[in-house]
Structure 1
């Protein structure tokens, strides 16, 4: 089977322009920036038809229940590769097909522990991709907040249960180590964000930690505005939230991550089998401090933090 795959892919590509199904848990408007990065990755790997590749975007608009039917639609359309973003999207694609190659962009899952691949070096099935299950981020976000707010003693954690408990356990451990009391609020859909911030604000926290989830990354402007409206500093994985007015972001570069995904998709379109294409980790990370927001919140970001940041917004 593995030996026949490249021939089948080449024959398919000779007949028509490749189609990539992008299964996205957020809003379609945000998906376009991810797709642009994937196309950059296709160029970087030398895929000759990078500009002609057709992307079929299926966005759930923040409703996780829509992912399964959207995945089924991509299967019905016989796309050449599926790129699901988020654990739930990967699971939906995995349930829909064991044949079409899947290149995941998943910043929350342990790919082996989740049953997506047999091993990082030899995925063994039709799934590979870029995965980031670094629990260290949970510690880092709280450490950075503690550096920015030395009096930090209590914080609210916004957590999407669909992403699993890895990050949550890490941030709880960090809270214990740093003597910061944490309260967890579950957010299961983007429609719950406003109530989530209102509930968080009622707890009068010193800060809010937003754990990694596609739900939280799908509408950066909304989250930044909610945080500013409640006058609360936030730390998150997503740089776009900090650029939109959130206080701080630290994590993998999303553009860099989707560019990596694009190179992996390009390899598959050139004949590689996903079973033999090792799982990759994000290679570029960035820290962003919004100094304008810090001033609006009455915070004085220490010079050590500003020097360490990759980008300071003034």
Structure 2
């Protein structure tokens, strides 16, 4: 009887040990974004999908926690402090303000940024080389030459181009500065309208009515999160809208030559997997994507007074009638 008791006790202890080991092998990834809108949501979903492809299944062998800062940089800082206290294996920070908050808050926990146009200007890394820190990620930078070519194809007689953006967002400020320089060299004029908050997008757009031939939108988070407000102005004033993210096309932009943000999320997820499997983030140089696609919205073109050429429509990967 005693031997049976000892055997049962040993079995319980071994079982507990195995369960403890299995639990120890589970991973924890925390994900945050500055705001929720289709492009950033697609990045998040792409990260989770890629982790699953790589064998890390949510609620099975990996814990995944997500929080949005709802467009508030103060909230982004609070989320950073909370996540650091929870000690995840990797933190994924989507969009510049969230990434800046995370990088400022920890020098130990791996931080993988995503959807950052210029991580160097945002002071997340010092160069395009491996950072030798706890930070790496994936940039959504776009070459501006093809963007300008698209604007010209949509509005052949364009002379003045408007841009609504948040001057306080490093991503946007860098793009607007470069865009202004390139347009000036081509004899075109860029007219800026500041929208420091999402609620400022509509009045900023209205300030451009009568002053511009088209409005180009970057991946500015305030603008993208309030894109319908911009579309309302474009439709009412017959101002063509050209975007840099394809998710804005079904929302009312005429055209966009941009990245697939779900794919960008998958690319980011691959980086996360490498770290979960033992690579040091500081040894992984940040990545970019060149996988661009042209999306066109013919209904938006009609509402904004534009007739698209057959060649442009035929060249699109996706056309919304």
User: Which protein shows a greater Rg?
Assistant: 2
Change (3 A) 1:222 1:25: farther
Alignment of 1:44-55 (within 5 A): 44=53, 46-49=54-57, 52=60, 53-55=62-64
State the shift of 1:51 in Å: 6.3
State the shift of 1:256 in Å: 1.1
Q: Which residue of 2 aligns with 1:184?
A: 192
Q: Deviations over 1:204-254 (max 9, x none)?
A: 421111122233333544544453344321112121111122111122221
SS in structure 1 at match of 2:249: helix
Alignment of 1:213-292 (within 5 A): 213-292=220-299
Q: Which residue of 1 aligns with 2:42?
A: 33
Q: Which residue of 1 aligns with 2:51?
A: 42
Q: Is the 8 A contact 2:165 2:195 kept in 1?
A: yes
Q: Return the match for 1:98 from 96, 104, 107.
A: 107
Looking at structure 2, the residues matched to 270 and 118 of structure 1 have their Cα atoms a distance apart, in angstroms, of 25
Looking at structure 2, the residues matched to 291 and 12 of structure 1 have their Cα atoms a distance apart, in angstroms, of 57
Q: Which residue of 2 aligns with 1:132?
A: 140
Q: Return the match for 1:211 from 205, 211, 218.
A: 218
Looking at structure 1, the residues matched to 307 and 227 of structure 2 have their Cα atoms a distance apart, in angstroms, of 23
SS in structure 1 at match of 2:312: helix
State the shift of 1:157 in Å: 1.2
Q: Return the match for 1:308 from 308, 315, 318.
A: 315
SS in structure 1 at match of 2:301: helix
Are residue 147 (structure 1) and residue 156 (structure 2) matched? no
State the shift of 1:48 in Å: 4.1
Looking at structure 1, the residues matched to 299 and 23 of structure 2 have their Cα atoms a distance apart, in angstroms, of 52
Structure 2 alignment gaps of length 5 or more: 1-19
State the shift of 1:62 in Å: 2.0
Q: Deviations over 1:263-293 (max 9, x none)?
A: 1111111111101122111142111111111
Q: Deviations over 1:135-184 (max 9, x none)?
A: x22x3333212222122122211122222543112221332233322211
SS in structure 2 at match of 1:129: strand
Q: Deviations over 1:93-119 (max 9, x none)?
A: 01111111101003321x345432344
CA RMSD of aligned residues (A): 2.5
Change (3 A) 1:305 1:177: farther
Change (3 A) 1:120 1:151: closer
Q: Which residue of 2 aligns with 1:85?
A: 94
Q: Is the 8 A contact 2:36 2:68 kept in 1?
A: yes
State the shift of 1:121 in Å: 3.8
Aligned residues: 299
Q: Is the 8 A contact 1:82 1:101 kept in 2?
A: yes
Change (3 A) 1:13 1:215: farther
SS in structure 1 at match of 2:208: helix
